[in-house]
Structure 1
Amino acid sequence: MLLKDKVVIVSGVGPGMGQALARIAAAEGAKVALGARNEDFINTVAEEIRSGGGEAVAVSTDIGNAGQCAALAKATVDAFGRIDGLVNTAYIHGAWVTVDEADPEDWAKVFDINCLGALRMTQAVLPAMKAQGGGAVVNVATMSQVNPFPGEGGYATGKGALATMTKHMAKDFGRFNIRVNATRMGWIGGKPVYDYIHGQVANGADREAVVNEITGRIPLGIIPPEEECAKSVLFFLSDYAKVVTGATLDVNGGQYMAP
C-alpha cells in the first residue's frame, strides 16, 4: 500500500478531486484528516471511509483563518499522534472575467485562499512534522499558470504564486526533512468538469462536440479521471518520492508539457 500507516491531511475536500484524494489515501493505508468549510460533506466522506474499514476524522476548516488551520492540525495529532503528509488542494476560483475587466479585490481574495491559505495550513502542520523528524507537503496548482485559459487570470495567478512558494518551502523546510512539491492539474474528470459539460449542453451545445473540443487538445485523448489525477498527487507523499522536493509535476494527459 502506497501510504501504509501514514497520517495525511487533505484540505479542501469537496465534490471534485478533494474527496477522491481522501478516499484513495485511505484505501492506500493512510489515516486521513479531512478539512473543508462544508462540514456535512466532509463528515459524510469521513463516515464512508470509516465504514470501509479506514480511519478518518473531519474538521470544518476555512484555510483563510490561521486558527482553524491550527485546529485541524491539532485534531489530527490528537486522533492519530502525528502528521506525515499534507495536501493543499483547497481553492476558490474567483470571477470568470478577462484580466482587463478584473477586480483587484476579487484577485486579492483568490490569492488569500489559493496561496496564503496553503501557507497557513502548512505552517499549522510544521510543529508536528519537525518534532517527528520529517514529512511531506503537496501544493495543488493549475495548468492555467502556464497555459492561459480565458477567465482564469486571477485563479491562475494565485496558483502561480503557490507554485513559486513551493520552491521556497522546499528550500526552507529541507533542513527539517520536510519535502514540498507541487502538481499542475489540467482538466480533471470529476463533478466540476462534468457540471461544466452539462451546462454547455443545457445551453444548446452538442455533448460530443464539447467533450471532443476538450480531449482534442489532450494527447492521451481523454479527460483525465479524477481518481488517476489524485494518485499522481498522492505519489509525492509516498516513500517513492523520498528524495524529491521542489518539483512540479504536470498532471494533464499531456496537454501542457513543461520544457
Structure 2
Amino acid sequence: MLLKDKVVVVSGVGPGMGQAIARIAAKEGAKVVLAARNKEFLDQVAGEIVAEGGQAVAVPCDISDPEQCKALAKAAADAYTGRIDGLVNSAFYHGDWTGVENADEEDWAKIFDINCLGTLRLTKACIPYLKDGGAVVNVSTMASVKPYGTEHGMEMGYAVAKGGVNVLSKYMATDLGRYGIRVNTCRMGWIHGAPVEGFIQSEVAQGKKREDVVGFITKDIPIGKIPPQDDCARAVLMMISDYSAVVSGASLDVNGGHWMAP
C-alpha cells in the first residue's frame, strides 16, 4: 500500500476532491484525519471510510482561526501515533468571478486569508508533528499560471491567492527542509467530480448538449477527457508518499496536459 500506516491530515474535505483524497488515502493504508467546517459531512465521510475497513477520524476546523488549526494538529497526532506524516492543504474559498474594474477588495481579502494564510496557519500548526520525514502538499490551481475566465468574469481573486500559495510552497520547502519536512505544490486543472458535473448539468439544463459542454472543456486538454477526480487525488497523494521522498519545492501540474510548465 502506498501510504501504509502513515497519518495523513486532509483539510477542505467537502463534496469535491478533498473527500476523494481522504477516501483514497485510507484505501492506500493511511490513518486519515478529515478536516473542514461541516461536521455533519465530515462524520459521514469518516463513517463510510471506517465501514469499508479504513481508519479515519473527523475534526471540524476553520483554517481562518489559528487556535482551531492548532487543535486540529494536536487532535490528529493524539488520535494515532503522536505524529503527522502528511498534510494536504486542500481547503479553499473561491470568491467572486470578476474583472479588474468590479473586483471587491473585501472579497479578495477573504480569498487570500483562506487560501494563502490558511495554508500557512495549518502548516505552522502541524510542524511539531511533521518533523523528521513529514510531507506537505499544497493544492493550487492552473489558473495561477494560465488566466481563465468566462462571460461571467475571471478567476482573478482565487488565482492570485493560489499564486501566493505557489510561492509560499517554495519558501516553506526551503525553510522546513532543516526539519526533514518536504513541501510541494499540485496545480490542478479541470477535475471531473461533483462540482464540475454540476456545472455540466446546469449547462445541459439550459438547452446545451452534454457532448458540446464536455467538448468545450476538453478541446485544449491533450488526453481528451476531463481528468477524473480520483486520478487527480492519486497524483496529490503520490507527493505525500515515499515515492517522492527526495522531491521538495516542486510544482506538479495535474491537468491532463492543459497547461504545460516551461
Q: Give the aligned length.
A: 257
- Equivalent residue for 2:115? 114
Partner SS, residue 100 of structure 1: coil
* Cα deviation, residue 204, structure 1: 2.3
Q: Residues of 1 paired with 2:77 and 2:187: CA distance?
A: 29
Q: Residues of 1 paired with 2:201 and 2:109: CA distance?
A: 30
CA RMSD in angstroms comes to: 0.8
* Cα deviation, residue 128, structure 1: 1.2
Q: Residues of 2 paired with 1:99 and 1:86: CA distance?
A: 34
Q: Residues of 2 paired with 1:63 and 1:205: CA distance?
A: 38
Q: Residues of 2 paired with 1:99 and 1:5: CA distance?
A: 47
Unmatched 5+ stretches in structure 1: none
- Equivalent residue for 2:103? 102
Q: Residues of 1 paired with 2:183 and 2:47: CA distance?
A: 29
* Cα deviation, residue 74, structure 1: 1.0
Which residue of the other structure, out of 192, 195, 201, is the alignment partner of 2:198?
195
Is 1:228 the counterpart of 2:231 in the alignment? yes
- Equivalent residue for 2:21? 21
Q: Residues of 1 paired with 2:238 and 2:100: CA distance?
A: 34
Q: Residues of 2 paired with 1:99 and 1:249: CA distance?
A: 29
Q: Residues of 1 paired with 2:209 and 2:74: CA distance?
A: 49
Please, which moves more after superposition, 121-130 or 4-13?
121-130
Superposed, 1:77-226 pairs within 5 Å as 77-81=77-81, 82-130=83-131, 133-150=132-149, 151-226=154-229
Superposed CA offset, 1:18-48 (max 9, x none) = 0000000000000000000111111000011
Partner SS, residue 99 of structure 1: coil
Superposed CA offset, 1:206-254 (max 9, x none) = 2111100111110000000000000000001100101000000000000
Partner SS, residue 9 of structure 1: strand
Normalised by the length of structure 1, the TM-score is: 0.98
Q: Residues of 1 paired with 2:167 and 2:91: CA distance?
A: 17
Unmatched 5+ stretches in structure 2: none
- Equivalent residue for 1:56? 56
Q: Residues of 1 paired with 2:49 and 2:179: CA distance?
A: 31
- Equivalent residue for 1:241? 244
**1:125 partner letter:** C
Percent of aligned pairs sharing the same letter: 61
Q: Residues of 1 paired with 2:10 and 2:156: CA distance?
A: 25
**1:165 partner letter:** L
- Equivalent residue for 2:30? 30
Q: Residues of 1 paired with 2:135 and 2:123: CA distance?
A: 10
Q: Residues of 1 paired with 2:179 and 2:229: CA distance?
A: 32
* Cα deviation, residue 106, structure 1: 0.6
* Cα deviation, residue 202, structure 1: 1.8
